[in-house]
């Protein structure tokens, strides 16, 4: 069963779930315990508590969130399932904390006044920044119920054009700004494109100004100018500096382990504990 657009309350609760799960997971709370806790905290008149019950059951059985979400394709969107699946894929370099943060911000945007254009740019940037793969990623995006049939067909079509056509050009030629420019250049006030126009004039102007540039600049401009949602970025791990005393103790322990291993092999070299003198090597205690 395909996903459907949900009420605002559902997206508000989804955003809370993804945020709570991410924060408690960082505190080393077991996933089963998180699901049980959050299920009790959510509004009982929404469908999410029942969904979490299904996810919890599949998590206990198979050990992954995505298995439960796949059974709830009428509730969770293909993009949500795709993102969680990528974060649980051992071959992918996409951590679960970032995945949950991405879905949290997406749910917050859906709970406000989302537009297909804003959601598409958010989805595309999330896939691009996190290297999730355009082929399967855009296929999941296109299946979102917020998109019209024309928008969906265009999303599936650009999968084969990425890398050969500038992404800003793809946005511009499908915008109202392109129509206005063509009318002015052709001198025909009622000129219309023979294909669907998917983006407004503002998106078109921003895309036109970012031709041949890094798409990230266009994403940032859309966020500044049109208040499009910002995609969370992966937090780099901080380098931890050990206390000097602790570091010295670790060095001593490592040295002792090396001596123990050498003794087991019958090859302890005592000369490294000797001091050098003019007469040769002498023990340090002499």
Degrees, nearest 5: CA angle 153-159-160: 110
Average pLDDT over residues 213-230: 96
pLDDT (tens digit per residue) in 139-188:
999 999 999 999 999 999 999 999 899 999 999 999 999 999 999 999 99
Q: How far apart are CA 267 and CA 264, in angstroms?
A: 8
Confidence of residue 241 (pLDDT cuts 50, 70, 90): low
| CATH T-level fold of 1-112 | Receptor-associated Protein (1.20.81)
Say if residue 243's pLDDT is above 90: no
pLDDT at 240: 57
Say if residue 274's pLDDT is above 80: no
- Residue 41: C-alpha distances to residues 25, 134, 217, 250 (Å): 16, 36, 39, 45
Say if residue 122's pLDDT is above 60: yes
Mean pLDDT of the residues in the chain: 90
pLDDT at 13: 98
Contact 2, 72 (CB under 8 A): no
Say if residue 47's pLDDT is above 70: yes
Average pLDDT over residues 228-255: 78
pLDDT at 273: 58
Q: How far apart are CA 152 and CA 128, in angstroms?
A: 19
The whole model's pTM is what? 0.81
Average pLDDT over residues 46-74: 94
Least confident window among 22-36, 85-99, 180-194, 227-241: 227-241
Q: How far apart are CA 194 and CA 62, in angstroms?
A: 50
Confidence of residue 276 (pLDDT cuts 50, 70, 90): low
Could you write out the three-class secondary structure of the chain? Answer: CCCCCCCHHHHHHHHHHHHHHHHHHHCCCCHHHHHHHHHHHCCCCCCHHHHHHHHHHHHHHHCCHHHHHHCCCCCCCHHHHHHHHHHCCCCCCCCHHHHHHHHHHHHHHHCCCCCHHHHHHHHHHHHHHCCCCHHHHHHHHHCCCCCCHHHHHHHHHHCCCECCECHHHHHHCCEHHHHHHHHHHHCCCCCCCCCCCCECHHHHHHHHHCCCCCHHHHHHHHHHHHCCCCCCCCCCCCCCCCCHHHHHHHHHHHHHHHHHHHHHCCCCCHHHHEEEECCEEEECCC
> Token pair for residue 66?
């995505």
Confidence of residue 261 (pLDDT cuts 50, 70, 90): confident
Cα–Cα nearest to 178, from 198, 152, 160, 151: 198
Least confident window among 15-24, 154-163, 262-271: 262-271
Decide which of 199 and 256 is more confident.
199
Angle separating helix axes 96-110 and 8-26, nearest 10 degrees: 160
Average pLDDT over residues 12-16: 97
Say if residue 275's pLDDT is above 90: no
Confidence of residue 245 (pLDDT cuts 50, 70, 90): confident
Q: How far apart are CA 282 and CA 286, in angstroms?
A: 7
Give just the sign of the alpha carbon dihedral 258, 260, 264, 268. positive
For the chain, which residues make up each domain, given as ranges?
1-112, 115-238, 244-283
């Amino acid at each position: 069963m395909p996903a459907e657009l949900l009420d605002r309350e559902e997206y508000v609760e989804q955003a809370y779930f993804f945020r709570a799960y991410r924060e408690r997971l960082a505190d080393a709370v077991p996933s089963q315990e998180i699901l049980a806790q959050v299920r009790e905290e959510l509004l009982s008149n929404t469908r999410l508590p029942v969904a979490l019950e299904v996810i919890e059951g599949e998590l206990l059985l198979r050990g992954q969130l995505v298995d439960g979400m796949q059974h709830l394709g009428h509730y969770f969107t293909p993009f949500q399932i795709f993102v969680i699946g990528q974060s649980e894929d051992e071959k992918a370099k996409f951590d679960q904390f970032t995945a949950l943060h991405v879905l949290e911000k997406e749910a917050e945007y859906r709970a406000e006044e989302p537009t297909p254009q804003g959601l598409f740019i958010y989805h595309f940037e999330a896939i691009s920044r996190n290297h999730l793969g355009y082929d399967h990623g855009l296929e999941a995006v296109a299946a979102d119920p917020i998109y019209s049939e024309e928008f969906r067909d265009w999303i599936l079509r650009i999968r084969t054009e990425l890398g050969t056509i500038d992404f800003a050009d793809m946005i511009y030629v499908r915008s109202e700004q392109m129509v206005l420019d063509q009318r002015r250049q052709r001198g025909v006030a009622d000129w219309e494109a023979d294909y669907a126009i998917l983006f407004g004039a503002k998106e078109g102007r921003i895309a036109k100004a970012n031709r041949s540039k890094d798409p990230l600049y266009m994403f940032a401009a859309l966020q500044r100018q049109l208040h499009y949602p910002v995609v969370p970025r992966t937090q780099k791990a901080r380098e931890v500096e050990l206390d000097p005393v602790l570091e010295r103790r670790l060095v001593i322990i490592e040295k002792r382990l090396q001596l123990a291993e050498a003794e087991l092999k019958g090859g302890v070299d005592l000369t490294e504990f000797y001091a050098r003198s003019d007469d040769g090597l002498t023990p340090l205690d002499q």
